[in-house]
Structure 1
Amino acid sequence: MLIRIIWRGFKKQLSNYLIFFFSLIFAVMVYYSFTAMTYEQPLIRSAGKNTQLVGMLGFGSFAVVLILLFFMANTNRFFIENRRKDISIFHLYGLNYYQICLWFILEIFFIGLFSFVIGIGLGVLLSKLFSMILVKAMDLPLQVHFFFSSDAIVDTGLVVLFILGVVSLQILWLVSGYKFSHLKKLQLRKIRAMQVSTWKKIVGLIGALFLLGGWGMALAYIVLSRKASNYFGLIQGSGLLMGTIFLLCVLGSYLFFAFTLRWYNSYRPKRLNKNLGMLSRSEWQLRLFTEWRFLGSITVALGLALAILGGMAAIASLEMRSVNEIAPASLMITRESYQKIAPKLESVAPYQRQSLNFKALPAKQSVEISGEGIDSQPEIMDMISLSDYQAFQKLNPTLQDIHLKTANSTVVLSSYQRYLKEYTHYSKIIYLKDRKLDVQKIYPNFFGDTNLRYGTGMIVVSDELFNETPGLAYTVEAIDVKNKNEEKLNRLIRQNLKGDWDFPIHYTLAWKHQRVIGEINEGEGPKKDGSTIYRSEYTSHQEIYRRTRSSMGLVLFVATFVTATFIISTASMVSLRQLSEFKQKKKKYALLRQLGIPNKTIYQEIKRENRVVFFIPAILALIHSVLALSVISHIAQNADYGFVYLFCGLMLVVYALFYGISCVYQKKML
């Protein structure tokens, strides 16, 4: 008889366990696939050491474990809370505390074992697909084959066993806190949930103000960050402002669900008398009283996950754009090294060649970075003539059009324009040793790898001024070939050049009596004080592209799958709670039918409850993440955020899908 009762209790929870079961299968499949790829030697060798493939996939696996632990702990707690009646029956039949705990633990292990077996099976079948996606994301020249890893299965099994062990300890703790007076306390909690005192209304108002304050600070981030940087410094001020915004949004989210929404739901307008609106408000009031921590945690975690994905996408976008900035031509090489390989370049013909003639010279331009002070010390700048700039523009169309207005006008090309444009201010005058130049415009430096040049800054001047100004002259050759010949060119470079750093110069510069004094000399300096500068031998577009694409593709691959796993897990948790509570409310809905309420009206009430629980946290998280992206966009300008906005839409689609499944199942059970 007892076994029959226990089995009946398990079957009642079976529909809830199904969503738990499928979500656990997905997590096991993702974890196995990540772990298996760390044992796939052809993939590791093809990726190379620079991408840190094993470490990044290991981090992704660790994140999946944390998500899985969070999912199982929350779900298990909810299962135990909803089986209080079963615990009472077990007590009446003479089962002691350890026997009850053992039964619940066996249930969890039973589900975990089947999830592990099916998840590993799917992981083995789909591991090739995961590897193909990773190879495509990293743009690796590798043919993916079916791969089976027994080590990955063992690792996955140990992780699942560890998580089940943690959940078992949680069961021991939850069941030990059970008392027979629980139902009476539950009735008292329902009464308290309907009461919203004055101090709770005040705290609810504070929660709304926290949210609005955090959102407003995010929208006005650039103005506030400049002020914070002036007081605390650029890094400290920006970090303090971001931390304040984050704290306001986190506290505001929890207070919003705990008090603000409860205050709003305590208001009962007359229009709610239609279509069970009053009942809906009451149910949502009770839900907020008991589950505000869960709803707040879901909101904060979802917003944070999407914001982190946005940050990773911004970095990846900027790094991929920097490929054309660092290597705008197929090959940029010093004149001396070009002369070594010039006879062999016929093997990659036809190709375009452009000589870029520079002069390294002493110069001074004051640069102010908000919160970091003003740098007004003389430095080495590279000068190039307008005609060479315009000739190179034909190979590199990302360069801006330049038209100098006067003989002493110049345009500055600065690397600060990529990240710190809003925080950097340049003086309008550049001092050379024998003249002053008027700064006409400042553009980002898309002129190739700065390691091929001597200066920290670069200026474009007229041809006459370039010829008149003394300086240390050197030449960089830009060579561009067709895409199909880039591999051949790269192989030619690796066979004939070592990629050494050479051609040193040293300098002693100072600013005295409103003039730049000092000289630039060839060769190494006598002092090891950083006054000696070297140039690299060459920069290859294909090498830069492969290295950047490989590392950024890996980052996005891991971040995407971890975020997707988290979104599916949170949607599963919300769905589980809805389906489980629906069974407890079936008697209430039956009573409504007896009172003459049609099924259509009851179903509308069910959908209304589901919409509130599914979409209020999702929309609030979406607002958090979009505003976080606006903050990131002020720092990392010109990045592409389309991928993240697509993922935000995907989150809503996933939640809508689980919402639809929950509604359809509840309608069938009605």
Structure 2
Amino acid sequence: MLFFSLIFSVMVYYSFTAMTYEQPLIRGAGKNTQLVGVLGFGSFAVVLILLFFMANTNRFFIENRRKDISIFHLYGLNYYQICLWFILELLFIGVFSFVIGIGLGILFSKLFSMILVKAMDLPLQVHFFFSSDAILATGLVVLFILAVVCLQILWLVSGYKFSHVKKARLRNIQAMKLSSWQKVMAVIGGMFLLTGWGLALTYISIARKVSDQLGLIQGNFLLMSIIFLLCVIGSYLFFAFTLRWYNSFHPKRLDKNLGMLSRSEWQLRLFSEWRFLGSITVSLGLALAILGGMAALASIEMRSVNEIAPASLLITRESYQKLAPKLESVEPYQRQSIHFKAVPAKQNVEISGEGMNTQPEVMDMVSLSDYRAFQKTNPTLRDIQLKSANATVVLSSYQRYLNDYTRYSNRIYLKDKKLSVQASHPNFFGDTNLRYGTGMIVVSDQLFNETEGISYTIEAIDVLPQNENKLNQLVQKNVKGDWNFPIHYDLSWKNHQLMGDITQGAGTKKSDSTIYRSEYTSYQDTYRGTRSSLGLVLFVVTFVTTTFIITTASTVTLRRLSEFNQKRKQYRLLQQMGIPNQTIYQEINRENRVVFFIPALLALIHSVLAISVISHIAQNADYGFVYLFCGLMLVVYGVFYLFSSAYQKRLL
């Protein structure tokens, strides 16, 4: 198990490092994607995981060889000779793991690169790649980790003397009893967990109140920190005291099938290993929560591709007129003209903790007929039925992230009209950089024609999928992509009246505000940029989380197998007393289940509730990927549990 985990970690680290030296991959990712930096962060995370695994495993091995250390002292070995013995063992394991891990990394690096290319959707052909620089970097990292663990050996061995055997027996006696203050801590641990979970389940209602008092960011950060601390402290107290108090009760059903023996063994383990079990629980929950946050971000950003670029090309009328004669090469294509007006308007928008925005601003107005025509191209737009002549529907950019924290007034004031807000929907009308305002309103055709404002037109062009690349190349050659078509305004609200105008051109006064529009938005450019960045981040986080899950499961397995060598005499004594093998096998399975699955299930609860908190902020995201990983964690722990149980039964 130790070899397996070290080999897997070395293989992953080498693969990540080798990809940072693979020039075709770096060039294909483009300048806008920080490929080397993100992969370097992934490599650093793998180093931390490997260091945690090695230090934790080494500490456990040394603790379980106290008698060996005492015997070495009896035979006349001094402190440095004993340390040298353990260090040579460690170096032997480390060198062989490094050699095998590098070999597998070289073999599987192409597979890692293929997965990354697929995740980023890059048009690249992956070839076999060997990097001596990556081997050197991996070797230096392994040497560093081994050096740190060697220092740990020097520190641990120096603290063990003959008295540790007697102290260990005394600790076993102490583990079976709980004092009054420990029972109080047991209750506090349970209350901390239940309070943290309750705050997570009722997060949005509490977050609104806290945000109103402290501010949106500060309030949410404080509430998340409180939930995190309650779950972390509660997890440690749960293993240190709550479970121990629960195990101190002896119901009658424990009299059968060695139930009392199982409770006693679990009590001793909780007394000595509560820090380890608590750390595993918190780390697994945090890793899955981070993966959930990244999966939510990736899901929302990939969905936003169709929101930003609902057509193959959105382009200004002026730039389209220059491009139109050259569009024959991408025929057949569909074209639709969408007419807008930039108008001065005022609507009160309140965001929890950030106050209310009461200042007039520029809004983009579109007619209901144009909205419905564009809805045929962009089916994500909701159906709208205006109930009166002055009714309007607001398309808001806040709906995707801060819907639960945002409140809109039911009136919008224009210069000479007052509109009634019928509903507010997410703004899926294309890239906001192509328009002037941050807000957008849909009104009746009559009201659109009667309202004065700066008129402009955007052309939506849709081509066949096989012509997307040709259209994109045509646009890049003929359209500069500049920010142009400025307008300026100086608006105010006085005596319940909207004052000021919007004028074309850049402003000349200090009080004027100037807005520019971009020339076009391409679906292919938007998709490639978003997919490459998010695919890279999700690839790294996924592999780091997988590595962490496997190494933690390996750590638990190593502890179980190492402990079993000491308990084998106990089980054989039970066999000699006439206890059936099937009953002993049930006892082995029971001990393994509590060690493997109680931390995993507690971590699963933490992560699911953390994802529910994230879902209140990042709505409409797809969390199926992270729930799949939660199931994968249980599968991995189940496989290691079955392996441990089968191996222990074989040793009897």
In the alignment, what sits opposite 1:140? 122
Deviations 1:451-502 (A, max 9, x none): 0000110000000000000111000100011110000000000110110000
Query: 5 Å matches for 1:475-554?
Result: 475-527=457-509, 531-554=513-536
Matches within 5 A, 1:606-645: 606-645=588-627
Which of 85, 93, 100 is the matching residue for 1:118? 100
Partner of 2:396: 414
Deviations 1:486-522 (A, max 9, x none): 0000000011011000001100100011111101111
Q: Per-residue CA shift, 1:216-272, capped at 9, x if unaligned?
A: 000000000001001101100000000000000000000000000000000001110
Q: TM-score, normalised by structure 2?
A: 1.00
In structure 2, what is the equivalent of residue 265 of structure 1?
A: 247
Tell me if structure 1 keeps the 8 A contact 2:67–2:165.
no
How far does residue 350 in structure 1 lie from its aligned partner after superposition?
0.5
Measure the CA separation in 2 of the matches of 1:603 and 1:635: 48
Task: Quote the residue 2:442 is aligned against.
Answer: 460
Cα distance in 2 for partners of 1:433, 1:39 equals 60
SS in 1 for 2:501: strand
1:214 positional shift: 0.2
Structure 1 CA distance for aligned equivalents of residues 595 and 375 of structure 2: 56
Please show how residues 276-425 of structure 1 align to structure 2 within 5 Å: 276-425=258-407
Residue matched to 1:6 = none
**Inter-partner Cα distance in structure 2 for 1:536 and 1:271:** 74
1:550 deviates by 0.2
* Cα distance in 2 for residues equivalent to 1:582 and 1:327: 61
Deviates more, 1:156-165 or 1:198-207: 198-207
Question: 1:336-363 CA deviation, whole Å, 9 max, x = no partner?
Answer: 0000000001110111111010000100
Q: Which amino acid aligns with 1:317?
A: S
Q: Distance in 1 between the 2:18 and 2:480 partners?
A: 36
Cα distance in 1 for partners of 2:292, 2:33 equals 20
Structure 1 residue 197: Cα displacement: 1.4
Q: Is the 8 A contact 2:489 2:512 kept in 1?
A: no
Q: 1:169-198 deviations in whole A, cap 9, x for unaligned?
A: 000000000110111000000000001111
Secondary structure at 2:490 match in 1: strand
Structure 2 CA distance for aligned equivalents of residues 287 and 527 of structure 1: 75
Q: How far, CA to CA, are the matches of 2:511 and 2:596 in structure 1?
A: 62
State the 4+ residue runs in structure 1 displaced beyond 4 angstroms: none
Aligned with 1:441: secondary structure? Answer: strand
Q: 1:528 to 1:57 in 2, by over 3 A?
A: farther
Matched, 1:103 2:85: yes
Give the share of equivalent positions with the same residue, in percent: 79
Q: SS state of the match for residue 430, structure 1?
A: strand
Structure 1 unmatched ranges of 5 or more: 1-18
Q: Which residue identity is paired with 2:306?
A: N
Q: Please give the secondary structure, in 2, of the residue aligned with 1:88.
A: helix
SS of 2:377 mapped into structure 1: coil
- For residue 529 of structure 1, report the CA deviation from its aligned partner: 6.0
Moved more, 75-84 or 24-33: 75-84
Quote the offset at 1:49 in angstroms: 1.5
Q: Indicate the SS of the match to 2:619.
A: coil
Aligned with 1:637: secondary structure? coil
Listed as ranges, the matches of 1:165-184 within 5 Å are 165-184=147-166
Deviation of 1:528 (Å): 5.5
In the alignment, is residue 130 of structure 1 matched against residue 138 of structure 2? no
Query: Alpha-carbon deviation of 1:650?
Result: 0.2
State the secondary structure of the residue aligned to 1:394.
Answer: helix
> 1:654 and 2:644 equivalent?
no
Match of 2:139 among 157, 174, 178: 157
Structure-2 residue corresponding to 1:577: 559
Tell whether the 8 Å contact from 2:70 to 2:161 is kept in structure 1 after alignment.
Answer: no
1:474 match: secondary structure? strand
Assess, with a 3 A threshold, how the Cα gap between structure 1 residues 665 and 369 changes in structure 2: closer, same or farther. Answer: same
User: Which blocks of at least 5 consecutive residues in structure 2 are unaligned?
Assistant: none
Are 1:215 and 2:197 matched, yes or no? Answer: yes
Question: 2:73 pairs with 91, 101, 109, which one?
Answer: 91
1:361 match: secondary structure: strand
- TM-score normalised according to structure 1 size: 0.97
2:490–2:512 Cα contact (<8 Å) kept: no
Aligned amino acid, residue 415 of structure 1: S
Pick aligned residue for 1:194 from 176, 195, 210: 176
**How many pairs align?**
652
2:651 maps to 1:665? no
**Do structure 1's residue 435 and structure 2's residue 417 form an aligned pair?**
yes
Aligned partners of 1:167 and 1:299: how far apart in 2? 23
* 1:247 corresponds to: 229
CA contact (8 A) 2:315 2:459 kept: yes
Q: Distance in 1 between matches of 2:568 and 2:52?
A: 29
Aligned residue for 1:29? 11
Deviations, residues 604-626 of structure 1 (Å, cap 9, x unaligned): 00100000000000000000000
Task: Tell me which amino acid in the other structure corresponds to 2:490.
Answer: T
Tell me the CA shift for residue 530 of structure 1.
Answer: 7.0
CA RMSD of superposed structures (Å): 0.7
Partner Cα distance (2:84, 2:458) in 1: 75
**SS at 2:315 equivalent:** strand
Shift of residue 418 of structure 1?
A: 0.3
Distance in 1, Cα, partners of 2:446 & 2:164: 91
Structure 2 counterpart of 1:468, one-letter code:
E
1:527 Cα deviation (Å)? 3.8
Q: Distance in 2 between matches of 1:447 and 1:666?
A: 62
Read off the aligned partner of 2:479 and give its amino acid letter.
L
Structure 2 distance, partners of 1:179, 1:302, is 35
